[in-house]
Amino acid sequence: MTKALRTPLCDRLGIRHPIFGFSHSVDVAVAIAQAGGFPVLGLAREMPHEIPELLAQVQQRMGEMPYGIDLMLPSAVPQQASLEGLRAALPPAHVAFVEGLRQRFQVAPPVKPSFFTTQVRSEALFEAQIEAVLASNARGIATAIGLRADLIERAKARGKLTFSLVGSVRHARKALAMGVEVLVAQGYDAGGHTGPVGTLSLLPQIVAVAGDAPVLAAGGIATGAQVLGTIAMGAQGAWLGTLWMAARENHTPPALLQRLIASGSEDTLITRAHSGKPCRVVRSDWIDAWGEAEAPQPLGMPLQQVLTGDVFASIHEHDNPRLIYEAAGQSIFAIEGETSVAEQFDRLLGEMDAAWGRLQRFAA
C-alpha cells in the first residue's frame, strides 16, 4: 500500500518513493536511483580536477534517472589558499599535539593523493565546483553549511531544483529569502555537520515556516516507520545518509564497516575535531584523543583539516581498525551488517507498509 505512497515532490522529480539518499559514492547514488529514490551525490571530498570527468561518468550511468548534487559551501574560508602556506602557519602547540598522536598511534603516512591531503576549502575551490555542477544535467543542487544567492539563481535559471540543508528556523528563513525551493530539515541526530536541535523537534518548526516550499526530514532516520512518521509530520520525504555506508555499493573499508556495525547511537558524538565545525561522527581512538584533558581546542574550518587531513586520509587508506571513523548519525543503530541498496529499499518500503497497517488498525 505505502509502496505506492508518493508526495507532490516525488511527482515533481519523477521518483517512485519519498526516499532521498545522500552519498559520496557514485555506485550508491546509481543504486538509489535504480531503486526509485532520489540520490544526491556529495562532491565536497572530490579533487577539483577530477570533478568534470566524474560528473560525465555520473551522467552516463544515470541515463534518464533524476539525481542531485550536493556542495558544502561554508563562508569565511580564504579566497585562495595554498596548503603549504597554511601548514607553515599552523599554531605550533596544535602541530606538536598531532605529531604526538601520530607517534602514539603509529599513523602511517598516506600514500595516495586525496582531497584531504592536497586541498583546502577556499572560494576558488568552491567556484570550480559550482561551475562543474551547473554544467551537469543534475536535476537538483543541494547546499550545506553555507548559502550562495548567486548559485541559487544560476541553478534555477538552468531548471535545477534547489535544496538547502537547514538546522534552525533562522537558517530556513534565510534560505527561503534567497529563493531556495526545498528545505532539508536536518536535525542534531544526523551524521555530518549539524546544529543543536533534534530532528523530531526541528521538523515541525521548519514545516511551519516553509509555506509552500516542500520540506524533507533528515537526521537519525533509518527505518520505514520513521520515513512514514516524518511524512505524517508534514515532510514530503526523508533524506538519509548514514544507512548507505552499510551498502556493498559504498565499498566501505572493512574496519570501518565493522565499527559501524558494532556501534550504537550512543557511540556517535558531535565534535569539531574532524573539520573544525560541529560534526557528528562515530567514535574511535582518534576522536577520543581530542576529548582528553591535554588536547587543545580544535582549530576552525578549514584549518583543522589542514592540520589533520593527512591523518584522516591515512586511517582510511590503511583501514586502521583502532582509529578509523566517519561522519555517522544516530541512525547508525540500523546498521547490522553489509547489505545492498536494493535490500535497504525493500526493508524501508516494507516497514513503511507495516507502520501504515498499524495506523489503520488503531484508526479502526
Q: Cα angle at 153 between 15 and 185, to 5 degrees?
A: 50
**CA-CA distance, 97 to 103, in Å (whole number)?**
10
**Closest residue by Cα to residue 239 from 209, 219, 256, 257:** 219
Write the binding mask 209 to 248 for ligand FMN: x where contact by CB under 6 A, - elsewhere. Answer: ---------xxxx-----------------xxxx------
Q: Which segment (78-86, 95-103, 122-130, 325-333) binds ligand FMN by CB under 6 A?
A: 325-333
**Does position 190 bind ligand FMN by CB under 6 A?**
yes
CB 51 within 8 A of CB 43: yes
Shortest distance, CB of residue 24 to ligand FMN, whole angstroms?
Answer: 6
Please report, to the nearest 10 degrees, the dihedral formed by the alpha carbons of residues 10, 11, 17, 18 taken in order.
20
Residue 219: left if φ>0, alpha if ψ -120 to 50, beta else—which one? left
State which residue, 110 or 329, has the beta carbon closest to ligand FMN: 329
Nearer to ligand FMN, 303 or 327 (CB): 327
CB 71, min distance to ligand FMN, A: 8
Contacts of residue 341, defined as CB under 8 A and 6 or more positions apart, other chains included, come to 21, 28, 31, 32, 34, 35, 244, 247, 249
Region near ligand FMN per CB under 6 A, out of 94-102, 150-158, 322-330, 341-349: 322-330
Report if residue 186 touches ligand FMN, rule: CB under 6 A.
yes
Nearer to ligand FMN, 20 or 290 (CB): 20
Total Cβ atoms within 10 A of residue 144: 23
Strand (E) or helix (H) holding 72? strand 68-72
Question: Least distance (Å) from ligand FMN to the CB of residue 361?
Answer: 29
Stretch touching ligand FMN by CB under 6 A, among 28-36, 57-65, 283-291, 323-331: 323-331
Is the CB of 192 or the CB of 195 nearer to ligand FMN? 192
* Interaction between residue 42 and ligand FMN (CB under 6 A): yes
Residue 205's Cβ-side half-sphere holds a number of Cα atoms within 13 Å equal to: 17
Contact positions vs ligand FMN (CB under 6 A) = 22, 42, 44, 70, 72, 144, 165, 186, 189-192, 218-221, 239-242, 326-329, 331
